[in-house]
Amino acid sequence: MRKRHLCVLLAGLTTLASAAFATASAAESDRWQVPVAVKKLDNGLTVVVSTDHSSPTVGVSVVYHVGMRLEPKNRTGFAHLFEHLMFQGTPAAPKGVFDQVISGGGGRNNGSTRPDFTNYIEVAPVSALERILWLEADRMKTLDFNPTTLKNQQDVVKEEIRVNVKNQPYGGFMWIDIGQHAFNKWENNHDGYGSFQDLENASLADVQSFHRDYYGPNNAVLGIAGDISPEEAFKLADKYFGAVAGRPTPAAPDYSEGLNTAEKRINQTDALAQVPAIAAGWKMPARGSRDQAPMAVLGSVLAGDDASRLYQSLVKRRQIALNIEPLYGLTDPWSYNGPTLYTLFAMYKPDSSADAVLAAIDEEVANIAKNGVDAATLKRVKTKMLADWYNGLEPFIDRADALAVLQTLWGDANVVNKIPTLIEGVTSADLQRVAKTYLTQANRTVIDRRPAATAPAPAAAAPAAAKN
Amino acid sequence: MSLLKNPLALSLALILGLGAGAASAGPAAKLPERLPPLAPDKALPVPQIARKTLANGLEVWVVPRQGLPRVDYVLAVRNAGYAADAADASGFASLYAGLLVEGTAKLDAKAIAETAQGYGGAIGANATNDGVVLSGYALPSQAAPMLQLLSDVAEGASFPDDEVKLAQANALQGLKAAQAQPGFKATRALLAAVYGEHPYARSQPTEASINAITADKVRAEHARRFRPDRALLVITGRVGAEQAFKLAEASFGDWKASGEPVADVAPAPRAAPAQRVFVQRDGSVQSALRLGRPAIAATDADYVPAQLAGIVLGGGFSSRLMQNLREDKGYTYGARGGLTALRGGGMVQVSADVRNDVTGASLGEFVYEFGRLNDYPVPAQELEDTKRYVAGGYLIGNQQQRSVASSLAGNWLIGLPPEFLGEYVPKIRAIGADQVQAMAKKYYAVKDQSIVVVGDYKAVQAQLKEYGEFKQEK
């Protein structure tokens, strides 16, 4: 159910590195302090740099503070379609140039759309850095608003939706449908992939105004990680982005919403799936609240890995599920800034039921709410989370992206070094509190999705397998 | 989980060896006048591997690094993977590999998982065609106990009866789930067309092969397959070479082989009749297209140039297939392919999932691109860009510790020496357009490609007429 990737390869060695060490409560050798330097250009572009000379490569991420929440109401899927169009050329660099220059410089690039941000990421030998910055600044200025490329990417996005949703067992219900049912406001509950009709209706005027309104330097963060000093990186950022004019960004509506007060249960049938599955999602604490880190730790205690309580309960002891996978919206426990879900996804056995899975989840949650979590387990889980946090920052492309995303959503890239401390500070009492507050039946949305061939007669809820 | 511009991975990539995953081609766009020049290339870092063979035959390679706080271990065991599975035990190795961490004489499955978690790491195994790879990682302070855990598992996996039963029951459900994926059926059909009766055709389980598994069989296979004289341990991270050798000796020095080792895999066919196979999948709104043919082993002299030809064709976002089928035609979210080389042989394959009504047209574009690679030399700039793309991929992988360990282990499994990693880019750079074209004629001729389509036959049947008579499969 993870993003499907074709992989890059290869490796070799590096013997010099520049990891600075922070002193901390854990074994000192186990700590890692990521260097962070931040500068804001006159046009409002925030630049975040993390130097690491251990490899002659560099990661770049340009994060725009706009995602699915802020797309036009009659244009579901537009933020994502727009992301595709950012790769389709500009007056100065026509279609084909962008990818050719980056791959011809030895690099890789990609982009992705989330509820709160859209990111454009590259990694390449450092010899290509100036070219990458030139290309990113060029498409920040303007695009080639072109009917041919619009049509082409409407087609490509529709194929993406077919491959990930319409031709796919489960159709991504654990990350698409669950939010549509859990949230109350349109910004949070519409389909970020979009309807085919809305995608087809997108016009060049829509593309132009979205670029104008949300793609200015003042609404963006540039992250750079790797073989370059902060001074040099700031100089290059100024050289290539300094002349891009800022532009007014529309005020965002209030899309906040409270926790749910009544459980939602949805039954779906699936014409393609052969194994029944369930997704249960709970609304999460707000970004930056004191409950955020405890919720992250609780999520790991419950379903972080094979040592987790729910894996052991559902898969090993009760043997009613094949897997248990946690999802944090479309991102992770730290990279959101609006209503989002902690979702558990499990495929369960044909002789079991969604209710049996939920009962097992409820039992573990109730146990934590009542008794907290023993010290040994808490220490183990925190140790693993700390290591996972570092592991996620290893590739320069991900390091640059994490810094740019945290700067965008938290207003502080240094959060990258604060998260380990936040994790370590979580107590058993914190876990009891968040279990009682968030993982309640009232705050829960559940989708039970059964293969069409084996589904019982439809209950009250209408089946909602594939949407057009 | 996120909506991506394209499905090519950029994140931690652990493909073994030098599989598909690089490319740059496409139409030669004219570069903007104001585009800054590339800065001078820095020297390619070349792996510095400290090597030692223990008395029991276990090879130990160490690559000390000072990156993030982590130590990585990769234990690769040759001839322990799918190719060692009996003809009626297809896919056995993946279930077996999964069970390695489900119990030892000292620890039950839960204790193994909790122990690894407490080390700030994880332990797990997976099967490949040519071997089984058992990997573990941990925070530096837990480097020694994690290696001990790895050896407890490698030498003392106990395969408890109830764990084997559970793995079997779950594998049956997992197989049902996998069969709902178009790609799974497509792979099965293409492997059969390419490899025929060779073991490389059998990497997916069947209901019968899962049902036939017993705990005793798994234990017997483990004793037969896991042995120090067929294994390599790669250690990388915040650990010195001498210290790593000491740790390896302490953890694995007493590991003993028993009985006869598994025989090397027989050479796979280098040619096969081009087949046409249609696998019916009711309700499909796309056709999963796969074309392929047998090719060569990784140690074949043609490996590097044939790899480069495949990268031009379908290696990455700027590849010809991606630029044509996605960026020009809008037929697909992703078209890709190239050469996969294993120890005893290999295959060329290309793929795309396309909406029903462009199934025939997409096959036409595949045919066109195979033809273009055969009929014309790759233009100089495109070839240069592709070589830079490959070199960049090397540097990008090299930046990541686990990628280094996995690549070394993966190369070793398919028969490539440790030096290969550092020599790959210079070898790629030395290839000329004439060699690429020669490789195209040898391995990328359309007449030699089998075609597999998984989809809804009623919806696409009329479009397939010109591509021959398709054998129908379930």
For A448-460, give one letter per residue: b (16+ CB within 10 A) or e.
bbbbeeebeeeee
A177 vs A158: CA distance, rounded Å: 18
pLDDT score of B73: 98
Of chain B, the end-to-end C-alpha distance in Å amounts to: 30
B24 vs B382: CA distance, rounded Å: 7
What integer is the mean pLDDT of B340-350?
98
Residue B35 corresponds to which tokens in the numbers above? 């585009």
CA distance B89 to chain A (A): 22
E strand residue ranges, B257-394: 276-280, 286-294, 332-341, 346-355
Residue A276 corresponds to which tokens in the numbers above? 């029944």
**Percent of chain B predicted with pLDDT > 70:** 94
Query: Is residue B30 scored above 90 in pLDDT?
Result: no
Residues in chain B: 474
pLDDT score of A29: 85
Instruction: Determine whether the interchain pair A159/B286 forms a contact, defined as Cβ–Cβ distance below 8 Å.
Output: yes
Q: Between A and B, how many CB-CB pairs are < 8 A?
A: 400
Residue A172 corresponds to which tokens in the numbers above? 């991504």
pLDDT in tens, B133-153: 999 999 999 999 999 999 999
Amino acid of residue B367? V
Cross-chain CB nearest to A101 (options B31, B139, B334): B31
Query: Is residue A2 scored above 60 in pLDDT?
Result: no
B373 vs B376: CA distance, rounded Å: 6
Report the chain B residue with the minimal C-alpha distance to residue A401.
B11
pLDDT score of B1: 41
Query: Is residue A22 scored above 60 in pLDDT?
Result: no
pLDDT score of B344: 98
CA distance B27 to chain A (A): 7
Instruction: Determine whether the interchain pair B10/A397 forms a contact, defined as Cβ–Cβ distance below 8 Å.
Output: yes
The whole-model pTM stands at 0.93
Query: Is residue A467 scored above 70 in pLDDT?
Result: no
pLDDT score of A453: 82
E strand residue ranges, B146-284: 231-237, 276-280
A345 contacts in chain B (CB < 8 Å): none
pLDDT score of B474: 86
CA distance A234 to chain B (A): 17
A11 vs B16: CA distance, rounded Å: 10
pLDDT in tens, A100-113: 999 999 999 999 99
Residue B407 corresponds to which tokens in the numbers above? 């690549």
What integer is the mean pLDDT of A291-313?
98
Q: Mean pLDDT lowest for which of A8-17, A263-272, A402-411, B75-84?
A: A8-17
Q: Is B47 on the interface with A (CB under 8 A)?
A: yes
pLDDT in tens, A312-363: 999 999 999 999 999 999 999 999 999 999 999 999 999 999 999 999 999 9
* Sheet of strand B286-294, all strands in order from the earlier edge strand to the far edge: B332-341, B346-355, B286-294, B450-455, B276-280, B471-473
Give backbone dihedrals phi and psi of A263, rounded to 5 degrees, phi first: -60, 145
A79 vs B158: CA distance, rounded Å: 52
Q: Is B136 on the interface with A (CB under 8 A)?
A: no
Query: Is residue A255 scored above 50 in pLDDT?
Result: yes
pLDDT score of A10: 25
B 240-279 residues with CB below 8 A of A? Answer: none
Residue B18 corresponds to which tokens in the numbers above? 């030098």
Q: Which among B357, B356, B363, B354 has a CA at the least distance from the CA of B331?
A: B354
What integer is the mean pLDDT of B179-189?
97
Q: Which of A1, A3, A9 to mutate to test the interface with B (most CBs of B within 10 A)?
A: A9
Provide the pLDDT confidence category of residue B240 given band limits of 50, 70 and 90.
very high
CB-based contacts of B118, cutoff 8 Å, min separation 6: A379, A380, A383, A384, B142
Query: Is residue A457 scored above 80 in pLDDT?
Result: no
Query: Is residue A303 scored above 60 in pLDDT?
Result: yes
Cross-chain CB nearest to B407 (options A2, A9, A109): A9
Instruction: Determine whether the interchain pair A9/B393 forms a contact, defined as Cβ–Cβ distance below 8 Å.
Output: yes
Provide the pLDDT confidence category of residue A59 given band limits of 50, 70 and 90.
very high
Report the chain A residue with the minimal C-alpha distance to residue B37.
A131
B288 vs B456: CA distance, rounded Å: 10
Which residue did the predictor score with more confidence, A188 or B12? A188
pLDDT in tens, B437-462: 999 999 999 999 999 999 999 999 99
Residues in chain A: 468
What integer is the mean pLDDT of B17-31?
46
DSSP one-letter code for A457: S
pLDDT in tens, B242-288: 999 999 999 999 999 989 999 999 999 999 999 999 999 999 999 99
A132 vs A112: CA distance, rounded Å: 17
Q: Which helix (H) or strand (E) holds B314?
A: helix B303-314
pLDDT score of B115: 98
Cβ neighbours around B244 below 10 Å, total:
26
What integer is the mean pLDDT of B314-341?
97
CB-based contacts of A254, cutoff 8 Å, min separation 6: none
CB-based contacts of B92, cutoff 8 Å, min separation 6: B82, B85, B86, B205, B209, B213, B221
Provide the pLDDT confidence category of residue A458 given band limits of 50, 70 and 90.
very low
Q: Is B55 on the interface with A (CB under 8 A)?
A: no
CA distance A257 to chain B (A): 22
pLDDT score of A454: 72
A328-331's contacts with Cβ under 8 Å and 24+ in sequence apart are: A328/A284, A328/A299, A329/A114, A329/A115, A329/A175, A329/A179, A329/A284, A330/A114, A330/A115, A330/A175, A330/A192, A330/B1, A330/B2, A330/B3, A331/A114, A331/B1, A331/B2
B405 contacts in chain A (CB < 8 Å): 11
What integer is the mean pLDDT of B123-138?
98
CA distance A87 to chain B (A): 9
CB-based contacts of B246, cutoff 8 Å, min separation 6: none
B116 contacts in chain A (CB < 8 Å): 307
Cross-chain CB nearest to A13 (options B29, B47, B355): B47
B247 vs B289: CA distance, rounded Å: 48
Of chain A, the end-to-end C-alpha distance in Å amounts to: 22
pLDDT score of B6: 64
What integer is the mean pLDDT of A197-206?
98
Amino acid of residue B81? G
Provide the pLDDT confidence category of residue B4 given band limits of 50, 70 and 90.
low
- The answer to whether the CB of A449 falls within 8 A of the CB of A268 is yes
Cross-chain CB nearest to B68 (options A32, A83, A167): A32
Average pLDDT score over chain B: 94
Residue with tokens 């296979």: B221
A152 contacts in chain B (CB < 8 Å): 327-328, 330
- The answer to whether the CB of A329 falls within 8 A of the CB of A287 is no
pLDDT score of A455: 59
Query: Is residue B14 scored above 70 in pLDDT?
Result: no
pLDDT score of B7: 55
Give backbone dihedrals phi and psi of A172, rounded to 5 degrees, phi first: 65, 25
Instruction: Determine whether the interchain pair B1/A2 forms a contact, defined as Cβ–Cβ distance below 8 Å.
Output: yes
Residue A315 corresponds to which tokens in the numbers above? 């898969």
CA distance A424 to chain B (A): 13
Instruction: Determine whether the interchain pair A55/B398 forms a contact, defined as Cβ–Cβ distance below 8 Å.
Output: yes
pLDDT score of A18: 26
B113 contacts in chain A (CB < 8 Å): 305-307, 311
Q: Is B90 on the interface with A (CB under 8 A)?
A: no
Report the chain A residue with the minimal C-alpha distance to residue B64.
A15
Residue with tokens 């387990």: A377
pLDDT score of B16: 24
Q: Is B235 on the interface with A (CB under 8 A)?
A: no
